[in-house]
Structure 1
Amino acid sequence: MTATAIAQAVASRKLSAVDVVEAVLARIGVRDRVLNAFTDVTAERARAKARAIDAAIEAGQNVGPLAGVPFAVKNLFDVQGLVTRAGAKINRDDPPALRDATLIERMEAAGAVLVGALNMGEYAYDFTGENIHDGNSCNPHDTSRMTGGSSGGSGGAVGGRLVPIALGSDTNGSIRVPASFCGIFGLKPTYGRLSRARSFPFVASLDHLGPLARSVEDLALSYDAMQGADADDAACTARAIEPVTPLLAQGIDGLRIAIAGGHFQQHLFPEAIEAIGRVAKALNATEVIEVPEAARARAAAYVITTTEGASLHLDRLRTRAHDFDPAVRDRLIAGAMVPAPLVDRAQKFRRWYRARVLELFKHVDVLIAPATPCVAPKIGQVNFVLDGVELPVRANIGIHTQPVSFIGLPVVAVPVPLQPMPIGVQLIAAPWREDIVLRVAHALQEMGVAAVPEPKGL
């Protein structure tokens, strides 16, 4: 069942929240042996919350739009009583969190039920879903393939129907890549829209948090529940809450939709080209708009990512370098050695690039772009051949997501159910226009172009 259906059934007392939670816990117990999506299952907490919801409904109280809906979070979110792993061995020596992350508090205030924490790439510096400490997340459509990362457990848990909603983080593509590989919907909101308070950071100037779900309605419901300014996150601005769920059915008449050209039409496998074509045809989008200097934006995003990430982890690199995943450690060490003038140039370019891209949104409402260059590669795959050139998988999975998160634009990744594996397409809008990309995603869902396939690997 979708989150929307669960909430309606629980609120109307057709289902009890306790029964929903027990069914989800049982499903996790069976399917997660294969998917390895969860690192922690908060069973007793979930049961207590479910009992409280049922009692409140029995007493005639409104428990919120997500009544009884189970959800899980990437293990970089603080969960009271759990150690915030952030996918790392080093963090396991930290004390348990004393308070939930803001977004968990808001989801539960809307009636949702937290059932656990999810696997992820170490310190979120990952596009694969592989983790040497907790094991690899496995794709629900083919368990020999990657989930994508770094929110790999989030993608696997939703795509594998363990939970209807999961929360992840996205610095360079870590919501959109798992959404693409696992065949689900993912929302990376505008930078500063949703609070990051009490989550473990990666790159503060690029980090976003957001939901992954099996329907656009579920994505919108969870997004609406989490909106709102937060004094505990300086980037979470005091914009008014703007609910999007009531707007989904408005349709897309009058919206100007174009295809992102240049960099976004390069470095693509045939499956990505087919997915873009299906989405563009369904939306009657024929105009191609060049996004200026997107390739350079990707390069600048790499510079800022690796230097800010290295700065955050310098003490850990000095004292516990042997406890890192070597692939993560080596990239962070390289980042610590990037000359300051190069970082300054990257930041100046970032301001220029943002201004140029925002100019485009004076003439178009939504840009269509690939989410990943290919369907999910095999777990452990090191290279793929693209445009006749052998390239490292890990470094190039996010080739089309990085130029977008670099300037904090809102994006919905929609799943196109190709065979044998699904792949995602990005819908990109101007800052603060989550409503537009969710409306377009909903229209594609209604047309059957964007759809979540049944997991085949379970």
Structure 2
Amino acid sequence: MTGATDLLLGPAHAMVEAVRAGRVSAEALAQASLARIAASEDTVNAFTDLTAERALAEARALDARLQAGDAATRALPLLGVPYAVKNLFDVQGLTTLAGSKIERDQAPAAADGPLLQRLQAAGAVLVGALNMDEYAYGFTTENSHEGPTRNPHDPRCSAGGSSGGSGASVAAGQVPLSLGSDTNGSIRVPSSLCGVFGLKPTYGRLPRNGSYPFVASLDHLGPFARNVQDLALCYDAMQGHDGHDPACVARGIEPTAGTLGQGLDGLRIGVLGGYFHDNAGPQARAAVARVAAALGTTRVVELPEVARARAAAFVISNSEGAALHLPDLRRRAQDFEPLSRDRFLAGSLIPGAWVQQAQRVRRWFALRAAELLREVDVLIAPATPMPAQLLGTEWIEVNGQRLPARPSLGLLTQPISCIGLPVCAVPVWSSAPLPIGVQVIAAPWREDHALRVAHALEQAGVVSAPVATLS
């Protein structure tokens, strides 16, 4: 039989084919994932919980159905693929921590969230829950309750956040797929710093019930992977309306994996300049230039008032997040991480008139983006101002500006989250030892456009997500 360990470090779709062909068992893949986690966690610290017994039981059940000749099992799109989820997703039998100390007092989840149910129905095997910033409020996953998640490509550096465990687990080869959340950039920032692919779908595309909220009017859920085909397969398996999330749009499933081969045909592509150029360091600019050259585009376009849109995202995030946590801020302020506590306290003091104005700015900015996306189909922009920095970094310098490190990792992602556009983050490697991401942004509901461009870049060898060499 094909070596499960070798398969684990490759693409998920190759694992599926191997299980279908009988070259490897689903149980062997689950065991390989659990062994890789055990061997690397001292370095990476991506996981907060393992679901080993569940994983092995699910894998054995898949193998038994295959042995019995069950055609439906054989056709499952993620047959036997191990995956893990950010610990704000409900996992039956686990307490949904959301990166916090306070939530440890809650009862374990009675059922999996809907996205986990859909992945299980597609044949994927859950191996555990992943580290994150407390209550998803941060960009570095330096969690004082669980310890920091470290970048697999350089453990001295940040993995990004708030879905740092999700990005790091995929980069480290612990799992080929993971799930995270993105409110202001929390999928795209770890994707950029860890050198993996990440997809933030359109706001309202995937249901969020069964996950712990941060800012309900901005929250998205989405997948990480080491190649675009796997990203599309995972995303496709999760699509579908769920009326328990009032923001989830009643829209039919629109598969994307089958359209990847269409490449760039008919797509008009522009590079976002202005704010997105001025707030990107030299490596970020070089990555965008490399991607633009590969796509054959020299067209530079601008969105107006991007800085105001980012400010609006800050006001909405602070005020809405603070409102959610106000009872605990009053009763248990000492149990919050100091940084998130202080942000929430500040948010609780924001005047209602400011929030109302922020929502006006958000609406105005969304209309300007819609106008631009009638002229082009896809926009290219850097994902982070620079590659991963050392853990504990307090300040960064971007083009002569001295900026606070943690919030500034979202400089380039927050304006896009604010208006809910779908984005695929793609990892670019250059002469530098660490990767940096580029955002491939599309119009609402056109995840297929973003994924087609990402796939074309991957096929051209411009973007890739190699497994980290762990010491």
The TM-score normalised by the length of structure 2 is 0.96
CA shift at 1:456, angstroms?
A: 3.6
Contact 2:40 2:470 in 1 (8 A): no
Distance 1:194 1:26 in 2: 31
* 2:165 aligned counterpart, secondary structure: helix
Contact 1:37 1:152 in 2 (8 A): yes
Of 104, 117, 140 in structure 1, the residue corresponding to residue 129 of structure 2 is 117
- Equivalent of 1:3, from 2, 12, 32? 12
CA deviations on 1:294-326 (whole Å, 9 max, x unpaired) are: 111000000000000000000010000000010
Equivalent residue for 2:255?
243
Whole-Å Cα distance in 1 between the matches of residues 402 and 419 of structure 2? 29
Question: Could you tell me how far apart the structure 2 residues matched to 1:245 and 1:395 are?
Answer: 34
Match for 1:437: what amino acid? A
Report the equivalent of 2:153: 141
Partner in structure 1 of residue 468 of structure 2: 455
Correspondence list, 1:29-428, <5 A: 29-61=38-70, 62-63=72-73, 64-418=76-430, 419-428=432-441
1:58: Cα distance to partner? Answer: 1.3
Partner SS state of residue 154, structure 2: coil
Runs of 4+ in 1 over 6 A off after TM superposition: none
Q: Are the counterparts in 1 of residues 180 and 222 from structure 2 also a CA contact under 8 Å? A: yes
Identity of aligned residues (%): 59
CA–CA distance in structure 2, aligned partners of residues 208 and 338 of structure 1:
24
Q: Which amino acid aligns with 1:429?
A: A
Q: 1:356 offset after TM fit, Å? A: 1.1
> What is the SS of the residue equivalent to 1:143?
strand
* Deviation at residue 389 of structure 1 after TM alignment: 2.7
- State the shift of 1:457 in Å: 4.3
Give the conservation status (yes or no) of the 8 Å contact 1:171–1:207. yes
> How many equivalent pairs are there?
458
RMSD after superposition: 0.8
Quick one: distance in 2 between partners of 1:162 and 1:35? 10
Question: What whole-Å deviation, never above 9, does each CA across 1:243-293 have from its counterpart, x for those lacking one?
Answer: 111100111122100100111111221110110011000001101111111
Aligned partners of 2:90 and 2:112 also within 8 Å: yes
Of 21, 25, 30, 1:21 maps to 30
Gaps of 5+ in 2: 1-9
Q: Contact (CA 8 Å) 2:136, 2:214: kept in 1 or not?
A: yes
Conserved 8 A contact 2:226-2:466: no
Name the SS for the 2:439 alignment partner: strand
Q: Is the 8 A contact 2:279 2:412 kept in 1?
A: no
Partner of residue 432 from structure 1, selected from 441, 445, 462: 445
8 Å contact kept, 2:195–2:427: yes
Partner of 2:142: helix, strand, or coil? coil
* SS of structure 1 residue aligned to 2:390: coil
What letter is aligned with 2:33?
A: V
Q: Which amino acid aligns with 1:414?
A: V
Kept after mapping to 2: 8 A contact 1:417/1:453: no
Instruction: State the alpha-carbon separation in 2 of the partners of residues 429 and 402 from structure 1.
Output: 15
| Aligned counterparts of 1:299 and 1:167: Cα–Cα separation in 2 | 27
One-letter amino acid matched to 2:348: A
Partner Cα separation in structure 1 for residue 297 and residue 341 of structure 2: 43
Is the contact between residue 260 and residue 368 of structure 1 (CA under 8 Å) also seen in structure 2? yes
